[in-house]
Structure 1
Amino acid sequence: MSASKSSPSAREVVDVDESEIEETINRIKSHKGVLGVIILTKDGVVLRSTVDEETSHAYASLVQDIVGRTRLGVRDLDPANDLSFVRIRTKKHEIMIAPDKEYMLVVVQNPNFKEGSQNETLRVRALNVDDDSDRT
């Protein structure tokens, strides 16, 4: 095998995948109530996001922890099993996480979205240490 016949460069592979990634993100964003889409590496590094950087990194950190702990719990119950999807519903949002071997897809949506209403902007709300209003 000659050196001139090498496999495609990483950049060429990324270019092909970029269009597929963009298409997938746009398709997901088009669903009613979707507030944000975040694609992470398995280590929690943000690769792509439709929300601001601070929000992306906050979700990335939490999601990585949730997936890691949940995966351990699933494997404790059955070592032959593995985590394939996590869905968390809160009063305001629904967080759907699809972990894979190398990547994680995170979609945050408003489950109470009503047709004709305007989508909110997904942002992390900083809490003051002295502010206990959300801890009831």
Structure 2
Amino acid sequence: MQAAEVDPQRTKSYVEEAFRLVSEKPGVEEVLIMNRSGVPVKTSMDRQDSLQYACLYDNLREKCQAFLTKIEPAQTLTFLRVRTKYHEVLITPDAKITVLVVQNAKDSFININT
């Protein structure tokens, strides 16, 4: 097996670096990183909100995975983007951590006051 095929270790420094990189992106309002059990390990949210988001994400992931399985049984959820008028939630699960990002979804061509 070549080194490029090996998944990086999800150490504390890996989580810290991922959190830092995502937080620096323009428009990012909140970041939540969960372990494979769905427990928040690093977040910019308060504790209650992070636990609520983690629980809601788990329910959403289960429903999305069931939907994907109906369409094509071999598929797994690799990225989920949910957009509302004001926010966008980006979710990237993998075998070790899940990164959930809430960002500002303002577009210059959308009039939010309507």
> Structure 1: which 4+ aligned runs deviate by more than 4 Å?
none
- Matched residue pairs, number? 100
Cα deviation code 1:16-52 (max 9, x no counterpart): x222221211111111110111111233211111111
Cα deviation code 1:109-133 (max 9, x no counterpart): 011188xxxxxxxxxxxxxxxxxxx
Identify which of 1, 20, 23 aligns with 1:26.
20
Q: Find the counterpart in structure 2 of residue 64 from structure 1.
A: 58
1:83 pairs with 2:77:
yes
1:98 pairs with 2:79:
no
Structure with greater proportional strand content: 2
Q: Find the counterpart in structure 2 of residue 45 from structure 1.
A: 39
Q: Find the counterpart in structure 2 of residue 121 from structure 1.
A: none
Any stretches of 5+ residues in structure 1 without a counterpart?
1-12, 115-136
Could you tell me whether the CA contact under 8 Å between 1:97 and 1:107 is conserved in 2? Answer: yes
Could you tell me whether the CA contact under 8 Å between 2:36 and 2:95 is conserved in 1? Answer: yes
CA 51–41 in structure 1, closer or farther in 2 if over 3 Å, else same: same
In 2, distance between residues paired with 1:90 and 1:97? 15
Question: Does the residue aligned with 2:76 lie in a helix, a strand or coil?
Answer: coil
Once the two structures are overlaid, the 10-residue window that deviates more, 43-52 or 85-94, is 43-52
In 2, distance between residues paired with 1:44 and 1:84? 16
* Rg (Cα) greater in structure: 1
Could you tell me whether the CA contact under 8 Å between 1:36 and 1:107 is conserved in 2? Answer: yes
Equivalent position amino acid for 1:99 in 2: P
Could you tell me whether the CA contact under 8 Å between 2:80 and 2:90 is conserved in 1? Answer: yes
Q: Please tell me the root mean square deviation across aligned C-alpha atoms, in Å.
A: 1.9
Any stretches of 5+ residues in structure 2 without a counterpart?
1-8, 109-114
Could you tell me whether the CA contact under 8 Å between 1:42 and 1:64 is conserved in 2? Answer: no
**TM-score between both structures, scaled by the size of structure 1:** 0.67
